[in-house]
Amino acid sequence: MMKPLSVGIIGTGFGRTVHAPIFQMHPGFHVKSIASVHRQRTEDRSLNGIPIYRNWRDMLDSEQLDLVSIVSAPGHHYEMTMLVLQSGYHVLTEKPLGMNTEQTLQMLRESERLDRQAFVNFQWRWAPIRQRIKHILMGKELGDIQHIKYHGSFSGYSVLTESYRGWEARSENGGGFLFAVGSHMVDSLIWWMGEEITEVYGDLKTQIPSYHGDAGIEIRDADDAFTFTGRFKGGTSLVVDVFFPGIHGMGWTLEIYGTKGTLIMRNDQNLECSFGGAFESIDIDPFHPPANLEAPALHYYNGFYQMIDGIYHSLTGNTPIIDLPTFADGHKAQAVLDAVRLSSETHSRINIDYGSLP
């Protein structure tokens, strides 16, 4: 029988609707408390018996916790993570890990100094289809990888032109799709390949730079589309492209080209490979969510549950769990994101500096 670990969650939005219910479904975790990022965000005092603090600092001072899950805008990650670590707790921080590599390297070093386990929420690693891709690449089934294309386009025009975006519209708060989805893409690419990206050339765009609503004008400088090319340490080239403000997007497509075969994944649901002939479908073992789980948690259950299961065994067994995303992984992804932003600003190719990892 699993001994439950006490979890505190900072965030009454995504943290309350996604992290909390999935943590509660795991027999190894007990959600002890939830705290608001901003005091004005909630008037509720409890959620299904779980106390809700209006100040996240009060939660850290008042509760005895094993793990704190930080689910806030990226601009808050550094301050919150450092205080959680200094309070003696293990931590799971949402992606991207920070606002820049200066922050993420300090966060990583602080976790090492205090001997606290520190994880970043790259939960899509644990989706069965992505695990299968990892297995295919590590087994060299496609041969030497020559080129990767990773593309996403979405039907976001009406969302951007008919509603406010809040902090997500502001780059100074960590808004933009490079941080929101590019962080996941970069992590998956580095994880699949098992090697670092060494150079990038990027272009960030804000296609819908403002919104005029009843509350006034919202000026936006966060990207709603981005593209970057790059190269891995071993020489493999890559192209990454995301376009959100489409009238009708086509979803996700991943193409991996090797010397023995080609792999295509569509929308994290369909996987096909060709070894010279026709493409053939690759069967993926399903991972079914509980019938009583509701949206939006339902969409994230597949990867998130398996990730926190790995976190539980890492915390209780004190042994590294394969594929579990740590602060070192979060820092590497941040280094790529920083380089893409710098490249877009300077219109130049950037060599990526990962710094001196502990």
Q: In whole angstroms, what is the distance from residue 33 CA to residue 62 CA?
A: 10
At 356, list the tokens: 């001196």
Residue 136 forms part of a structural domain: yes
Per-residue pLDDT of the chain (358 residues; tens, 9 = 90+): 678 999 999 999 999 999 999 999 999 999 999 999 986 555 566 677 899 999 999 999 999 999 999 999 999 999 999 999 999 999 999 999 999 999 999 999 999 999 999 999 999 999 999 999 999 999 999 999 999 999 999 999 999 999 999 999 999 999 999 999 999 999 999 999 999 999 999 999 999 999 999 999 999 999 999 999 999 999 999 999 999 999 999 999 999 999 999 999 999 999 999 999 999 999 998 888 898 999 999 999 999 999 999 999 999 997 778 999 999 999 999 999 999 999 999 999 999 999 877 6
Q: Are residues 169 and 236 in the same domain?
A: yes
In a domain, 358, yes or no: no
Helix axes 327-346, 183-193, angle to 10 degrees: 120
Burial, 235: exposed, middle or buried (Cβ in 10 Å; 0-12, 13-18, 19+)?
A: exposed
**Structure letter (DSSP) for residue 97:** -
CATH number, domain containing residue 29: 3.40.50.720
Q: Is the same domain home to 136 and 118?
A: no
Q: Are residues 185 and 210 in the same domain?
A: yes
Q: Are 341 and 333 in contact (CB under 8 A)?
A: no
Residues 119 and 129 in one domain: no
Tokens for 274?
């060709």
Residues 207 and 336 in one domain: yes
Establish if 180 belongs to a structural domain: yes
Range(s) of the domain holding residue 220: 125-283+332-351
Q: Are residues 216 and 344 in the same domain?
A: yes
Instruction: Looking at the structure, tell me whether residues 107 and 139 fall in a common domain.
Output: no
Residue 356 in domain? no
In this structure, are 92 and 135 located in the same domain? no
Residue 251: CATH number of its domain: 3.30.360.10
Please state, in angstroms and as integers, the Cα–Cα distance from residue 278 to each residue in 206, 256, 272, following that order: 39, 16, 10
Both tokens of residue 51?
Answer: 């106390």
| Torsion of the alpha carbons at 68, 73, 76 and 80, rounded to the nearest 10 | 0
**93 and 188 co-located in one domain:** no
277 and 301 in one domain? no
Q: Which two tokens stand for residue 146?
A: 């020559």
Q: How many domains does the chain have?
A: 2
Tell me how far the alpha carbon of residue 322 is from its chain's centroid. 17
